[in-house]
Every structure is written in C-alpha cells, then in structure tokens.
Amino acid sequence: MSTDPEKKVSLLVFFMLWARRMRWDVPFIHVQALMWLEAKGPLAVLRCFRGFGKSTLLAIYNAWLYYKDPTFRILHQSESDPTAYKTSRDTQNVIRNHPLTRHLLPPNQGTVEQWWVEGAADIRNASMFAKGILSNVTSARADECQNDDVEVPRNIQTPEAREKLRYRLGEQTHILVPGGSKLFIGTPHTHDSLYDELESMGADCLTIRMFAQEFRIEDAKRHAYDVPFVPDVVFSGIGKHARVLVQGKDYQVTKTGIAFFEPPGTLIDCYAGSAWPERFDMATLEIRRRETRTINEWDSQYQLHSKPVTEVRLDPARIIPYDVQPTMRYANSAAAMYLGSTQIVGAIAYWDCSLGKIKSDASAFSLILTDARGQLYWHLAKGLTGEIAEFDERDRINGGQVYQIRELVIQYQIPRVIIETNGPGGFAPAILKQALKGTGCGVGEEHSSTNKQKRILDAFEPPLSARFLWAHIDVLRTIWDQMRDFNPALTDQDDDFIDSGAGAIAQTPVRIGRIVGKPTEVRRDDWRPDAGVHDVQVEY
C-alpha cells in the first residue's frame, strides 16, 4: 500500500483538475458517473449511451486508482486486443500529464499491453494488463477486472457466441484476488443482454440514457395522441427518412399530448430530458437518427433497452398467445374440434427429422391448427428424442420418435403429418407409416430445395405482419429465443423449431377421411366440417 501521508483527493476533484487542463466543459452526467464510480460496489454496471465518453472517463478513473494506491492491479478487457490497448494507452497519457500522477510512470517500463507504475509491488502481474475478452488471461491476477464494451455484435451474434462470452467472463472470478471488484461499462446489443443478467444478480447499476422520458407511437395515423409529458423533441421514422418534427409546423402541444397538422402515418418517438443538450443538439440528433439503420439499434445504443442492433425479422412479440387445449364436440352424428370457442377446420403437422447427433438440429415436430377465417394456431413445437424407431422381438414398433408421433396423432386427432425428407428424413416416411397404421392419419413427404432462411421468412413474415398467427404459451416458451435471434445472413444457427413451424405453415391443410371398417383400427373421429349430404332435384 502507498505510504504517502498526503490526503488523497476524490475522483471528482482528480477529474476536474484534468478537465481544467484539457479545457473541458463538464456536463452533470459526467459528475454523476464519477461520483458513482468512486462509491460503487464490488460488482458494478455502468450503462451509458453512445457518445457519452465512457472510455475517456475510465482512463482518468484508472489513473486515479494508481494515484490512490500504486500497488493496484487492473485487468482491462474490451471486445478485442486493439480496443483494450486504446484505454491502456489513454491511461498512460493521463498518468504522464496529470499534475498528481506525472511521477508514477517510469520511462520504458513495459508495453501498451502491460506496464507497471512506480511503487508497484507485483513483478509478475502488471499494474495494467489490457487484453481482448476472447484472449487468454488465465494466469493473471487483479484487484479489479474491467469490461469496457465487451458486448458487441460480433461477440453475441448467436447463442453460442453469447455463451462463449459468458465463459470468458467467468474466468475473471478466479483472476480476482479476495476483495476484488468487477466493473462493466457499455451499451446493450441483444435482447438477453449481459448487463440485464448482472443486474438480476444484484450488481450496483447506473443507467444514463440519452433521454430520461420517452413515448412511442408505432404508427401515427390519427391527428392527436396523449403523451404523459411535454416533449422536447419529436422524431419521425428511423434511418434515411428520419427527421426531427418542428413544433408549430408539424405538430402542436395540447393539454394532454400532441396534435399533428397531418397524421405522419409512421413511427413517432417523443422524448424529454436530454442528458447532454449542449453536445447533442437537434441537428446532431437528427444526423444520428438518420444514420441509425433500425429502431432496435436506436433503442439499444441511445435509450439502453436490451434489443439486438440488427432488425428483428421475426418478432415473437407479434404472435398472439393462448392457453387452451382443443376439445371435441359431438352433435347430429358429427364431430367437431374447438379451440376455446373457435371451431378448428384444418390441421397440419410437420416433422423435421433428426437423429440427435452433435451439431445437428433437434428432431422438431410442429402442429398448426386453422380456423374458418384462416387464422393459424401453432399448438405444438416439440423436440422428439431417441432413435427414429424402436422394435420389440416381433419387429413391431414400440418406441422411438415415430411412436411419440403416433401418441400425438391420437391425442390431438391429427389428420396428416408431413416429413421433411432431406437428410435422415429420407427413410423416415416408411417407418412412420408403419407406426401410424390403424390411426387413419396420412403421411406426406416434402423435399425442400429452397434456401432455409428464405423458406422461414416466407412462411412467417406474412402472418406476423398481418397478426393472424397465434401460439400456445408452451410453444412461445420453446421458440421465443430462436425467433428473436434469427438472422437470415447466418447459415449455422439454432432454428430447428421455427424451421419445423415454417414447414407446417407452408402446407395447406389436407382433408382426408378416416379409414373405417378395420377391426384393429384406433378410433379417431373426423372432426373436420363438411357440407353434409343433400338430395337435390334438377330438371334437364
């Protein structure tokens, strides 16, 4: 520990001395962040919008830590080695030029990757060790592990990439000495953000958004809307067509909200309480809004909502949930299937067959029900397990995936199952037909030669945009992450259940009458409606 009897100044005073040297005007949000950094707990998360200057603050904070205690050791990690080196180099610059630390950095001591200050007590572990988050730092020791924007698109593009990132971050637990601390600084880049996970673990969090208050109108087709505050800025649209609306020209403030002179017919964002109005004026904000490609990117990078920066092509939030099971009703010697009060007139099941090998898709089975209006109800999305079929000593099927399908066919009165015959599905139809003998369920084959990403988009985008796709809550739990993470540009991603659902949606329900008259038949009442039988008299 330092033996300097001099009373050490606070981080805010240390920063103000540097700001005066650099001739900066210090905004309140920087004062807020600095006071939080000095008082933070052992696990801390600072979320701040793009352009906040977080890396600049971090370099000054690091210099202050060495000013307070020259034996302090920092492991600084960012999304890559070069990015981590930037903060390391910036920290060196502050130490060399700050009036309270210019004596701390000896010449020719270490590199930008690792270096020691005067008074450092650990020859093996540098005062500053800067590496990318995916680099090997296993043998390091540190009093604080810093993570500066480790969550970026290339690190979290797939669930596997996000898991790898978390594994690397887990190494820091073993690197920290007892009593050490972890600091995370950045903006969220995905719906299951690392920062939300840390907050749920009880991390000390400070979140500074570009605007303190926000209100969104998804599609402004009316003249007037209620807004819970008086907006300082109103945006129309996103991307190249985005603009800042002008009060008195495009809209006026009312007692309860805003009124447009002409309905914009597009997305409208109302904001108030700018965090840094001196730096981010209306012209700057309009430029940034126009150069932001998607509304998700804007929400995550400036308002710090946990959303992927890319456009979500398949938003599961647009699926309407339900929580009822189909029931059979009998009247006038006829059977009918109902989902709640809605009569079901057709159904199709789709099996995307898999043998469950490593790196292969799950063997996904989906059931789509339809009503007379054309509404789609995604009722099942199940993963089948085990061998394709299991046989007893008499070569009769008594287990395996096809037997699981037989049980589902009987339980849900499924009239037809389509098998994707690509890969292992090539020999599955014959086995499934054998397993379904006596159920009256038809088996169809589908050999898909269309690009899988295109096939999924073609199946889901129309029902999602028109809001006529429903799903059972169990299905939503199964497919939610796969839909949110789906990226048409990737060929290797978890999409087995949505691929199966897309196959079922793409198939028109087929009405096949029940095969009757066989003594071994398992009874399945034909619940699909028909026009009945009528006697008609005609004259020729």
Residues 199-235: tens digit of each pLDDT: 999 999 999 999 999 999 988 999 999 999 999 999 9
Q: Which of 260-274, 297-311, 525-539 has the highest mean pLDDT?
A: 260-274
| Residues with Cβ within 8 Å of residue 6, at least 6 apart in sequence | none
143-145-147 Cα angle (round to 5) = 160
Lowest mean pLDDT among 68-72, 170-174, 344-348, 515-519: 515-519
Residues 308-330: tens digit of each pLDDT: 766 667 889 889 999 999 999 88
**Mean pLDDT confidence for 428-449:** 86
* Mean pLDDT (the chain, rounded): 87
Residues 225-266: tens digit of each pLDDT: 999 999 999 999 998 889 999 999 999 999 999 999 999 999
Q: Is the pTM of this model over 0.85?
A: no
pLDDT bucket at 171, cuts 50 / 70 / 90 = confident
Q: Assess whether pLDDT exceeds 60 at residue 534.
A: no
Residue found by looking up tokens 């996970």 in the block = 197
What six digits make up the tokens of 212? 């303190």
Question: HSE (CB half, 13 Å, CA atoms) of 352?
Answer: 22
Rounded to whole angstroms, the Cα distance separating 143 from 201 reads: 21
pLDDT bucket at 357, cuts 50 / 70 / 90 = very low
Rounded to whole angstroms, the Cα distance separating 129 from 113 reads: 6
Helix pair angle (54-68, 11-22), 10° resolution: 120
Q: Which domains does the chain carry? A: 11-208 (3.40.50.300), 211-274+281-301 (no CATH), 316-506 (3.30.420.240)
The pLDDT, as a whole number, for residue 6 is 66
Rounded to whole angstroms, the Cα distance separating 260 from 142 reads: 57
